[in-house]
Structure 1
Amino acid sequence: MLRRLALTAVASLAVLSAGAPAATAATGPLPLLPIPLPVLQGDDATEKTQLRVTVSHSGDREADGVYELRCLPAGGTHPVAQQACDRLAELAKPTDRSDGKDPFRPVPSGAMCTQQFGGSATARVIGTWRGQHVDASFDRTNGCEIARWNTLRPVLPNVR
Protein backbone atom coordinates (compact mmCIF):
# COMPACT_ATOMS: atom_id res chain seq x y z
CA MET A 1 0.00 0.00 0.00
CA LEU A 2 2.76 2.42 0.97
CA ARG A 3 4.68 1.52 -2.18
CA ARG A 4 1.63 2.31 -4.35
CA LEU A 5 1.13 5.65 -2.60
CA ALA A 6 4.77 6.64 -3.11
CA LEU A 7 4.65 5.60 -6.79
CA THR A 8 1.48 7.67 -7.33
CA ALA A 9 3.07 10.73 -5.72
CA VAL A 10 6.22 10.45 -7.89
CA ALA A 11 4.16 10.02 -11.06
CA SER A 12 1.99 13.04 -10.20
CA LEU A 13 5.05 15.19 -9.57
CA ALA A 14 6.58 14.14 -12.91
CA VAL A 15 3.41 15.07 -14.81
CA LEU A 16 3.19 18.46 -13.10
CA SER A 17 6.86 19.21 -13.73
CA ALA A 18 6.60 18.41 -17.41
CA GLY A 19 3.60 20.69 -17.90
CA ALA A 20 5.05 23.76 -16.15
CA PRO A 21 7.59 24.76 -18.85
CA ALA A 22 4.96 24.41 -21.58
CA ALA A 23 2.50 26.62 -19.70
CA THR A 24 5.17 29.24 -19.05
CA ALA A 25 6.22 29.27 -22.70
CA ALA A 26 2.63 29.80 -23.85
CA THR A 27 1.82 32.66 -21.49
CA GLY A 28 5.25 34.11 -20.80
CA PRO A 29 6.89 34.37 -17.41
CA LEU A 30 4.84 35.54 -14.46
CA PRO A 31 5.50 39.15 -13.45
CA LEU A 32 7.53 39.62 -10.31
CA LEU A 33 5.52 41.64 -7.81
CA PRO A 34 6.91 42.98 -4.56
CA ILE A 35 5.57 41.25 -1.49
CA PRO A 36 4.49 43.76 1.18
CA LEU A 37 6.26 43.23 4.47
CA PRO A 38 5.12 44.62 7.81
CA VAL A 39 6.99 47.61 9.16
CA LEU A 40 8.41 46.78 12.57
CA GLN A 41 8.53 49.46 15.25
CA GLY A 42 9.43 47.96 18.57
CA ASP A 43 7.03 45.23 19.66
CA ASP A 44 4.03 46.70 17.88
CA ALA A 45 3.24 49.85 15.92
CA THR A 46 0.36 50.51 18.34
CA GLU A 47 2.88 50.98 21.14
CA LYS A 48 4.06 54.30 19.72
CA THR A 49 4.66 56.87 22.44
CA GLN A 50 4.96 60.60 21.87
CA LEU A 51 4.24 62.90 24.81
CA ARG A 52 4.51 66.58 25.68
CA VAL A 53 5.21 67.01 29.40
CA THR A 54 4.69 70.48 30.92
CA VAL A 55 5.93 70.98 34.49
CA SER A 56 5.29 74.12 36.57
CA HIS A 57 5.91 75.34 40.13
CA SER A 58 8.17 72.41 41.03
CA GLY A 59 10.55 74.60 43.03
CA ASP A 60 13.37 73.58 40.68
CA ARG A 61 13.99 75.88 37.72
CA GLU A 62 15.67 73.03 35.82
CA ALA A 63 12.65 70.75 36.27
CA ASP A 64 10.07 73.33 35.17
CA GLY A 65 9.47 73.55 31.45
CA VAL A 66 8.05 71.77 28.44
CA TYR A 67 9.60 68.50 27.30
CA GLU A 68 8.96 66.25 24.33
CA LEU A 69 9.30 62.51 24.92
CA ARG A 70 9.37 59.89 22.17
CA CYS A 71 9.86 56.17 22.68
CA LEU A 72 10.84 53.35 20.33
CA PRO A 73 13.47 54.75 19.96
CA ALA A 74 13.85 57.05 22.97
CA GLY A 75 14.32 60.70 22.08
CA GLY A 76 13.02 64.23 22.27
CA THR A 77 13.96 67.03 24.64
CA HIS A 78 13.13 65.14 27.84
CA PRO A 79 16.28 65.23 30.03
CA VAL A 80 16.22 61.47 30.76
CA ALA A 81 14.29 60.14 27.77
CA GLN A 82 15.58 56.56 27.90
CA GLN A 83 14.81 56.17 31.61
CA ALA A 84 11.36 57.73 31.10
CA CYS A 85 10.59 55.33 28.22
CA ASP A 86 11.86 52.39 30.28
CA ARG A 87 9.54 53.40 33.13
CA LEU A 88 6.53 53.69 30.82
CA ALA A 89 7.29 50.24 29.39
CA GLU A 90 7.58 48.86 32.92
CA LEU A 91 4.24 50.38 33.92
CA ALA A 92 2.54 48.78 30.91
CA LYS A 93 3.35 45.25 32.09
CA PRO A 94 1.17 43.62 34.75
CA THR A 95 3.11 42.66 37.87
CA ASP A 96 2.29 41.82 41.46
CA ARG A 97 2.47 45.57 42.29
CA SER A 98 0.81 46.94 39.14
CA ASP A 99 -2.19 45.93 37.05
CA GLY A 100 -0.54 47.12 33.82
CA LYS A 101 -3.30 49.66 33.24
CA ASP A 102 -3.04 53.27 32.15
CA PRO A 103 -0.68 55.17 34.51
CA PHE A 104 -2.23 58.43 33.27
CA ARG A 105 -5.72 57.65 34.55
CA PRO A 106 -6.99 59.98 37.27
CA VAL A 107 -7.50 59.01 40.90
CA PRO A 108 -10.89 57.27 41.09
CA SER A 109 -13.68 59.40 42.52
CA GLY A 110 -14.40 58.48 46.11
CA ALA A 111 -10.85 57.26 46.76
CA MET A 112 -9.73 57.72 50.36
CA CYS A 113 -6.55 59.82 50.27
CA THR A 114 -4.37 61.17 53.04
CA GLN A 115 -4.72 64.90 53.48
CA GLN A 116 -1.10 65.84 53.05
CA PHE A 117 0.24 68.55 50.78
CA GLY A 118 3.18 67.60 48.58
CA GLY A 119 3.90 71.04 47.18
CA SER A 120 2.55 73.27 44.46
CA ALA A 121 4.09 71.41 41.51
CA THR A 122 1.76 70.71 38.60
CA ALA A 123 2.22 68.82 35.37
CA ARG A 124 0.23 68.13 32.25
CA VAL A 125 0.95 65.29 29.87
CA ILE A 126 -0.58 65.34 26.39
CA GLY A 127 0.04 63.01 23.46
CA THR A 128 0.03 59.31 22.73
CA TRP A 129 1.09 56.41 24.95
CA ARG A 130 1.11 52.93 23.37
CA GLY A 131 -1.17 54.24 20.65
CA GLN A 132 -3.72 55.63 23.14
CA HIS A 133 -4.58 59.32 23.50
CA VAL A 134 -3.31 60.93 26.73
CA ASP A 135 -4.44 64.20 28.29
CA ALA A 136 -3.67 64.03 32.00
CA SER A 137 -3.09 66.61 34.73
CA PHE A 138 -1.01 65.99 37.85
CA ASP A 139 -0.53 67.81 41.14
CA ARG A 140 0.60 66.95 44.64
CA THR A 141 -2.44 68.07 46.66
CA ASN A 142 -3.03 64.83 48.59
CA GLY A 143 -1.56 61.40 49.20
CA CYS A 144 -3.24 59.81 46.17
CA GLU A 145 -2.03 62.55 43.82
CA ILE A 146 1.49 62.39 45.29
CA ALA A 147 1.55 58.61 44.73
CA ARG A 148 0.27 59.06 41.17
CA TRP A 149 3.02 61.61 40.46
CA ASN A 150 5.71 59.41 42.02
CA THR A 151 4.58 56.40 39.98
CA LEU A 152 5.46 58.31 36.81
CA ARG A 153 8.96 59.35 37.86
CA PRO A 154 11.21 59.93 35.84
CA VAL A 155 8.60 60.92 33.22
CA LEU A 156 7.68 63.58 35.79
CA PRO A 157 10.55 65.15 37.75
CA ASN A 158 11.45 64.20 41.30
CA VAL A 159 10.10 67.06 43.43
CA ARG A 160 9.94 67.46 47.21
Structure 2
Amino acid sequence: MPRLRLLVLGVAASAVLAGTPVAATGAPLAPVPLPLSEEAWPQSAAAPGDQLTVTVAKSGVAGSDGTYRLTCRPVGGTHQRARAACDRLAELAGGSRDPFAPVSRNAACTMQYGGDATARVHGTWRGRSVDASFNKKNGCEISRWRALEPVLPGNGA
Protein backbone atom coordinates (compact mmCIF):
# COMPACT_ATOMS: atom_id res chain seq x y z
CA MET A 1 0.00 0.00 0.00
CA PRO A 2 2.76 2.56 0.78
CA ARG A 3 4.23 1.97 -2.70
CA LEU A 4 0.89 2.79 -4.33
CA ARG A 5 0.63 5.96 -2.25
CA LEU A 6 4.13 7.00 -3.34
CA LEU A 7 3.25 6.26 -6.96
CA VAL A 8 0.08 8.36 -6.76
CA LEU A 9 1.96 11.20 -5.06
CA GLY A 10 4.73 10.97 -7.64
CA VAL A 11 2.27 11.15 -10.54
CA ALA A 12 0.46 14.06 -8.89
CA ALA A 13 3.71 15.92 -8.22
CA SER A 14 4.87 15.39 -11.80
CA ALA A 15 1.55 16.62 -13.11
CA VAL A 16 1.64 19.71 -10.91
CA LEU A 17 5.15 20.53 -12.10
CA ALA A 18 4.01 20.01 -15.69
CA GLY A 19 0.88 22.10 -15.13
CA THR A 20 -1.50 19.17 -15.64
CA PRO A 21 -4.29 18.82 -13.05
CA VAL A 22 -4.84 15.33 -11.62
CA ALA A 23 -7.67 13.62 -9.81
CA ALA A 24 -7.27 12.07 -6.36
CA THR A 25 -6.70 8.74 -8.10
CA GLY A 26 -3.59 10.10 -9.83
CA ALA A 27 -5.21 10.10 -13.26
CA PRO A 28 -4.88 13.32 -15.27
CA LEU A 29 -8.07 15.33 -15.52
CA ALA A 30 -9.42 16.19 -18.94
CA PRO A 31 -9.18 19.93 -19.69
CA VAL A 32 -12.41 21.85 -19.41
CA PRO A 33 -13.01 24.06 -22.46
CA LEU A 34 -13.45 27.72 -21.60
CA PRO A 35 -15.49 30.18 -23.66
CA LEU A 36 -13.28 32.26 -25.93
CA SER A 37 -15.45 35.29 -26.46
CA GLU A 38 -16.37 37.73 -23.73
CA GLU A 39 -20.03 37.49 -24.77
CA ALA A 40 -19.94 33.83 -23.71
CA TRP A 41 -19.19 34.79 -20.09
CA PRO A 42 -22.39 35.29 -18.09
CA GLN A 43 -23.01 38.74 -16.70
CA SER A 44 -24.25 39.10 -13.16
CA ALA A 45 -25.35 41.98 -10.99
CA ALA A 46 -21.96 41.77 -9.25
CA ALA A 47 -20.08 42.11 -12.55
CA PRO A 48 -21.80 44.72 -14.72
CA GLY A 49 -20.39 45.59 -18.11
CA ASP A 50 -18.33 48.63 -18.94
CA GLN A 51 -20.11 51.95 -18.40
CA LEU A 52 -18.26 55.04 -19.55
CA THR A 53 -19.10 58.68 -20.12
CA VAL A 54 -17.05 60.25 -22.90
CA THR A 55 -16.90 64.04 -23.20
CA VAL A 56 -15.15 65.49 -26.26
CA ALA A 57 -14.44 69.14 -27.13
CA LYS A 58 -12.75 70.87 -30.06
CA SER A 59 -12.07 67.57 -31.85
CA GLY A 60 -12.31 69.07 -35.31
CA VAL A 61 -14.42 66.08 -36.35
CA ALA A 62 -17.92 67.08 -37.45
CA GLY A 63 -20.61 65.91 -35.05
CA SER A 64 -18.15 64.37 -32.56
CA ASP A 65 -18.03 66.99 -29.82
CA GLY A 66 -20.34 66.45 -26.88
CA THR A 67 -20.98 64.01 -24.07
CA TYR A 68 -21.84 60.38 -24.80
CA ARG A 69 -22.65 57.29 -22.75
CA LEU A 70 -20.95 54.07 -23.80
CA THR A 71 -21.88 50.69 -22.40
CA CYS A 72 -20.23 47.44 -23.37
CA ARG A 73 -21.22 43.89 -22.44
CA PRO A 74 -23.91 44.56 -23.74
CA VAL A 75 -23.21 47.29 -26.31
CA GLY A 76 -25.34 50.40 -25.96
CA GLY A 77 -25.51 54.04 -24.99
CA THR A 78 -25.47 57.22 -27.05
CA HIS A 79 -21.94 56.89 -28.45
CA GLN A 80 -22.05 57.23 -32.27
CA ARG A 81 -19.78 54.22 -32.84
CA ALA A 82 -20.64 52.10 -29.80
CA ARG A 83 -19.95 48.69 -31.41
CA ALA A 84 -16.54 49.77 -32.78
CA ALA A 85 -15.67 51.50 -29.49
CA CYS A 86 -16.55 48.40 -27.45
CA ASP A 87 -14.60 46.19 -29.85
CA ARG A 88 -11.56 48.44 -29.37
CA LEU A 89 -11.92 48.35 -25.58
CA ALA A 90 -12.17 44.54 -25.69
CA GLU A 91 -9.01 44.46 -27.80
CA LEU A 92 -7.20 46.74 -25.34
CA ALA A 93 -8.33 44.59 -22.40
CA GLY A 94 -6.14 41.77 -23.71
CA GLY A 95 -3.00 43.91 -23.56
CA SER A 96 -0.72 44.57 -20.65
CA ARG A 97 -0.99 48.38 -20.84
CA ASP A 98 -3.73 50.44 -19.26
CA PRO A 99 -5.28 52.52 -22.09
CA PHE A 100 -6.47 55.09 -19.55
CA ALA A 101 -3.12 55.59 -17.82
CA PRO A 102 -1.58 59.05 -18.17
CA VAL A 103 1.65 59.59 -20.08
CA SER A 104 4.63 58.82 -17.86
CA ARG A 105 6.43 61.84 -16.43
CA ASN A 106 9.66 60.28 -17.74
CA ALA A 107 8.42 59.93 -21.33
CA ALA A 108 10.33 61.76 -24.03
CA CYS A 109 7.58 63.23 -26.21
CA THR A 110 7.91 65.01 -29.54
CA MET A 111 6.90 68.64 -29.54
CA GLN A 112 4.30 67.87 -32.20
CA TYR A 113 1.04 69.75 -31.68
CA GLY A 114 -2.17 68.01 -32.73
CA GLY A 115 -4.69 70.75 -31.95
CA ASP A 116 -6.94 71.87 -29.13
CA ALA A 117 -8.95 68.64 -28.83
CA THR A 118 -9.70 67.46 -25.31
CA ALA A 119 -11.60 64.51 -23.94
CA ARG A 120 -12.49 63.04 -20.61
CA VAL A 121 -13.49 59.43 -20.05
CA HIS A 122 -14.92 58.41 -16.70
CA GLY A 123 -16.93 55.52 -15.38
CA THR A 124 -16.19 51.82 -14.96
CA TRP A 125 -14.07 49.60 -17.21
CA ARG A 126 -13.33 45.96 -16.42
CA GLY A 127 -14.61 46.42 -12.90
CA ARG A 128 -12.41 49.36 -12.00
CA SER A 129 -13.02 53.08 -11.79
CA VAL A 130 -11.75 55.22 -14.68
CA ASP A 131 -11.25 58.99 -14.79
CA ALA A 132 -8.87 59.94 -17.60
CA SER A 133 -8.20 63.13 -19.55
CA PHE A 134 -6.89 63.23 -23.10
CA ASN A 135 -5.50 65.94 -25.38
CA LYS A 136 -3.27 66.31 -28.44
CA LYS A 137 -0.65 68.72 -27.09
CA ASN A 138 2.40 66.55 -27.89
CA GLY A 139 3.40 63.35 -29.65
CA CYS A 140 2.81 61.14 -26.60
CA GLU A 141 -0.68 62.53 -26.00
CA ILE A 142 -1.53 62.21 -29.71
CA SER A 143 -0.47 58.53 -29.63
CA ARG A 144 -2.47 57.95 -26.48
CA TRP A 145 -5.57 59.51 -28.12
CA ARG A 146 -5.15 57.45 -31.29
CA ALA A 147 -4.78 54.24 -29.28
CA LEU A 148 -8.29 54.83 -27.91
CA GLU A 149 -9.97 55.54 -31.27
CA PRO A 150 -12.90 55.00 -31.94
CA VAL A 151 -13.81 55.51 -28.28
CA LEU A 152 -12.42 58.98 -28.96
CA PRO A 153 -13.10 60.51 -32.39
CA GLY A 154 -10.42 60.14 -35.03
CA ASN A 155 -9.93 60.95 -38.66
CA GLY A 156 -12.42 58.26 -39.65
CA ALA A 157 -14.82 59.17 -36.80
TM-score over 0.5 (shorter chain): yes
User: Of Structure 1 and Structure 2, which has the larger fraction of its residues in helix?
Assistant: 1
Q: How far 1:63 moved relative to its partner?
A: 0.7
Quote the residue 1:153 is aligned against.
149
Bigger Rg, structure 1 or 2: 1
Q: How far 1:110 moved relative to its partner?
A: 1.5
Secondary structure at the aligned position of 2:54 is classed as strand
| Residues 141 and 159 of structure 1, relative CA distance in 2, 3 Å threshold | farther
Alignment RMSD (CA, Å): 2.2
Query: How many residue pairs are counted as aligned between the two chains?
Result: 116
Deviation string 1:18-50 (CA, Å, 9 cap, x unpaired) is: xxxxxxxxxxxxxxxxxxxxx9219xx647200
Q: Given residue 41 of structure 1, which amino acid in structure 2 is its aligned partner? A: Q
Q: How far 1:61 moved relative to its partner?
A: 4.1
Q: How far 1:60 moved relative to its partner?
A: 2.9
Q: Is there any run of 5+ residues in structure 2 with no aligned partner, and where?
A: 1-40
1:68 and 2:64 are equivalent in the alignment: no
Quote the residue 2:140 is aligned against.
144
Quote the residue 1:118 is aligned against.
114
Structure 1 runs (4+) deviating above 4 angstroms are none
Q: Given residue 40 of structure 1, which amino acid in structure 2 is its aligned partner? A: P
Counterpart contact for 2:49–2:74, Cα < 8 Å = no
Deviation string 1:31-77 (CA, Å, 9 cap, x unpaired) is: xxxxxxxx9219xx647200000000112340100000000110000
In 1: Cα distance, 2:65 partner to 2:130 partner: 20
Taking structure 1 as the reference length, the TM-score comes to 0.67
Q: Is there any run of 5+ residues in structure 1 with no aligned partner, and where?
A: 1-38
In 2: Cα distance, 1:46 partner to 1:148 partner: 27
Taking structure 2 as the reference length, the TM-score comes to 0.69
